[in-house]
Chain A
Amino acid sequence: MSLLHRRGTLLTVLFLALGTNAMGARLVIPGLTLESGFLVQPGPDASILYAEPRAKPGDWVLSLRAGALRVGGEALPLAEIRDTYYQIEGGALRGRVGFQSLSWGETFGFFIADLPNPRDWRDPLLLNVGFVKKPVFMGQLQWFGEASSVQAFVTPLTRHQDFLPGVETDIPGRRALDSIGRDSEAGVRASRLWDFGLDGSIFVISHLDRALVLDPGRVLSAGMTASQAVSDRWVVRTDQVWTGGAQGVDWHGVAGLDWSPDADLTVGTQIQHGPELWGASLRVARRNVADRWDLEAFCFTGLGGPSGGGSAGEFWIQPKLTYNTADGISVSLRYDWIETPGSAPKNGFFQAVTDSDRALLWVAFRY
C-alpha cells in the first residue's frame, strides 16, 4: 500500500498559485505593483477560497484579503486588511504607519522569536507563514547604520489570534481587545553585524500571551537571535526567548546548523527546547536535479521534555517535489505525514492543525 493511501484521512488539495510569493500574481509597472491570487482547499473539515490583491502606489502599500471559509458545511466570510501602511524613508530612518507584519528570528519551521504579530490558525492545511501572520496596526520606526539597525514599534490595539470555530470558543478568558494601554503592545530590537560575521539581535517586547490555549494575559519577552556563516559552507543560527508573566519565566530556544557544499544542496538541522516541549528537525533541499527537479524534505520529531511533556512521539515528515519548466511554470507536490500519540491531536506542537495526513499539489507561474 502506498504512503498516499496509508490512512483514510488523506486530503488532496489543488492549490493554484501565481506569482513570486507563490500565493498570487504579480504585475509590476512603474510606481505600482499589483498582486492577486487564490487558494482552494477542499476537505472534510474546512475549505478556504480567497483573493489577496496588493498594490504599491507611491509611498503606500495596500493589501486586502477577501473570500470565504467553509467549516463543517457553514460558510463564513473572510475579509480583512493585510499589510496596508504608509512609509516615509529618508537618510538612515524609515517610518511606517498602518497594518504591518514584522519578521523576527533566524530559524525555520518554528518561529519562536517572531512575536510581534498574532497568528491566523484557521488554515488547517497549509502552514504557510505568510498566510498565518496577522498584520496589526502599528507605528514602526527603523534606524539603519553602517553595520547596525534599531527597530521600535508600538501597537495601540493588538488583535486576537484566529482559530477555527469550535476551537475559539474553548479558549478560556477570551475577551474583546478594545482598551488602549491594557491591550497595547510595544517592542524594540537592536541588530548588529560584527566584522567577524556574526549577525546578532537582541529584543524586548511587551505583548499579550500568544500561547495557543491561554487567555490573553500580558507578558514580557526578551530574546536574542544570531546567525553566522562559518567557512563558505556552514551557517549556524539560533533564536532564544525568555517570556515572563504571572506564571513565571519560560525559556524557549532553537539552534540550528546548515551545511551547503554547493549552491544546490542544503542540509539543515535544528534542535528546540521549551519548558515542556523538545524537538529536533531536519531539512534537506536539493535544487536543479537533472536541471528540472527540486527535491525537499522537512522532518520533525518530538523528543518529550523535562516534565515528560506532550510532544514525545509526535513526528512530521514533509517531502516535497517540484518540477520546473523552462518558462516559469512549476508543479509541486507536497505530502504531510503526521503522527501524534493517541487518536486525537495532543497538546503538543501540532495541536493547532489536524493530525491527518495530507497531500498538496500546486502549480505556480512566475513572471
Chain B
Amino acid sequence: MIPDVRILLMLVFPVAAIAAPSLNPEAILRKVDAIRNPSESYEMRVRIGESRFMAMIQGANRTVVRTLEPARDRGRDLLMIGEEMWAYIPNLKRAVRVSLSQKLTGQAANGDISRMRWAEDYEATIESEDEGNWVLALGARRKGLTYERIRVWVARKDHSPVRAEYLTAAGKILKRARFEGYRMMAGRVRPTRLEIESAVNASEHSTLEVESMSPRSFPVSLFNPQGFGE
C-alpha cells in the first residue's frame, strides 16, 4: 500500500506540508488589510460603548479622529501621524502636542482605530496553522507602535481576520480581540465589530463597532499639524 504523500509530508514536515499551498505571510497580511480597509483614503464611523468617533484615514499612518459622542468632547479632534499625536483646542485655534497616553476610551486604544493597516507596521511570519486558520505572528517593524507584537488568526478560506492577541515584546498577552459582525460594507464583506478584552482582567472589555465606511479624499492640510483643525 502506498501511503498518501501528504500524510508522509505531514509526519516529516508538519508545517511545511500544510503551508505549501498557502501564500507567504506578508501577502496574507496584505489581504487581511484589504478586508479591513476599503481604500487608501476613507472615512469610518465607529462606536465604542457610549462614545462615537469619525475617523478620517489616509494611507498607513495618518488619521484624524473626530469625537461625535460624548458631546463634551466635541471639537477636541485628534491628529495622529505615525506615533505622534496632536489635539486641536478650539479656544486656542491650534493643535497642541499630546502624549500617546491620551487614548480614546476603555480597552480600545488609538491604534485600534488609527492603525488599520498591519502590513505597513509589522513583519509577519506564520506561527502555526490548522485546517481553518493561519496563525500569523506580527512583530513591530519599529518602536512606538501601540502593540509590539500581535498574533492573528486568519481564515484560510477568505483571508478574513478571526481573532487576535496583542502582546508585549516579551510575549505577555495584554489584550484579546475577536473580529465579528461580518457584513457588506463599502463594497465587500468586512468585520464590523471588534470585541476587545483585557488579558489581565476579563471584566474589562470594549466593543468597537464600525457603523460605516466610505472611500473619501481629504485635503493634504488635514493631516498636517499646521493645517489640521482650522
Contacts and interface: CB of A to CB of B under 8 A. Distances in A.
A142 B84 contact: no
A120 interface: no
Interface stretch (B20-28, B95-103, B192-200, B206-214): B95-103
A149 B226 CA distance: 7
B71 A21 contact: no
Given A258-B99, A260-B102, A130 B92 contact: yes
A97 to B, nearest CB: 15
A129 B98 contact: no
A130 B74 CA distance: 17
Given A89-B221, A94-B219, A149-B226, A330 B101 contact: no
Interface residues of A, number: 49
B18 interface: no
B85 interface: yes
Nearest to B229: A103
Contacts of A142: 221, 226-227
B93 interface: yes
B171 interface: no
Contacts of A103: 92-94
Contacts of B221: 89, 94, 142, 144
B47 to A, nearest CB: 16
Contact of A229 (B91, B100, B103, B219): B100
Contact of A94 (B81, B97, B99, B227): B227
Contact of B91 (A21, A144, A189): A21
B84 A234 contact: no
Nearest to B81: A193
A105 B104 CA distance: 25
Q: Would you list the 8 A-B pairs with minimal beta carbon distance, nearest first?
A: A328-B71, A20-B75, A103-B94, A232-B100, A227-B97, A21-B90, A366-B71, A149-B226
23 contacts: A20-B90, A22-B91, A89-B221, A101-B93, A103-B93, A103-B94, A106-B96, A108-B96, A130-B90, A144-B221, A189-B226, A193-B81, A193-B84, A227-B97, A228-B97, A229-B84, A233-B99, A233-B101, A258-B98, A260-B101, A324-B70, A330-B72, A366-B75
